[in-house]
Amino acid sequence: MTRRLCDSEFPWCPADARSSEFYKLRAKDLSPTQFAVGKAELAVRTGRMRKKFQKDPGILHDYLRTRPVPIVVRGKQFHLVDHHHLVRALYDALHKERGKDICVYVKVMANASTLEEVYFWKSMHEQNYVYLFDRSGGGPQQPATLPTHIKDLKFDPYRSLAWIVREHHDYVKTPHRSRNSSGRTFSGPVFCWAMTYSRANTPSMISPLR
Which residue, 178, 80, 72, is CA-closest to 119? 72
Residue 202 has pLDDT above 50, yes or no: no
User: What is the chain's mean pLDDT, rounded?
Assistant: 82
pLDDT band at 72 (very low <50, low <70, confident <90, very high): very high
Residue 48 has pLDDT above 60, yes or no: yes
Residue 186 has pLDDT above 80, yes or no: no
Is residue 5 a contact partner of residue 102, using CB atoms and an 8 Å limit? Answer: yes
Residue 205 has pLDDT above 50, yes or no: no
Residue 62 has pLDDT above 60, yes or no: yes
Question: Please, which residues have CB within 8 angstroms of residue 57's CB and are 6 or more apart in sequence?
Answer: 2, 3, 4, 5
**Distance separating the N- and C-terminal Cα atoms of the chain:** 38
* Beta-bridge mates of residue 37: 155
Is residue 150 a contact partner of residue 53, using CB atoms and an 8 Å limit? Answer: no
pLDDT for 1-36, tens place per residue? 445 677 777 999 999 999 999 999 999 999 999 999
The residue-averaged pLDDT of 48-61 equals: 94
Residue 24 per-residue DSSP state: E
* Beta-bridge mates of residue 186: 178
pLDDT for 73-84, tens place per residue? 999 999 999 999
pLDDT of the residue at 169: 61
CA distance 110 to 105: 15
The residue-averaged pLDDT of 96-120 equals: 94
Residue 111 per-residue DSSP state: E
CA distance 53 to 42: 16
pLDDT band at 159 (very low <50, low <70, confident <90, very high): confident
pLDDT for 113-158, tens place per residue? 999 999 999 999 999 999 999 988 898 999 999 999 999 999 988 8
In percent, the amount of the chain with pLDDT more than 90 equals 64
E strands in 48-181: 69-74, 77-80, 103-111, 154-155, 177-179
Residue 97 has pLDDT above 50, yes or no: yes
Which domains, ranges and CATH numbers included, belong to the chain?
A: 22-155 (3.90.1530.10)
Which residue, 204, 175, 159, 178, is CA-closest to 36? 159
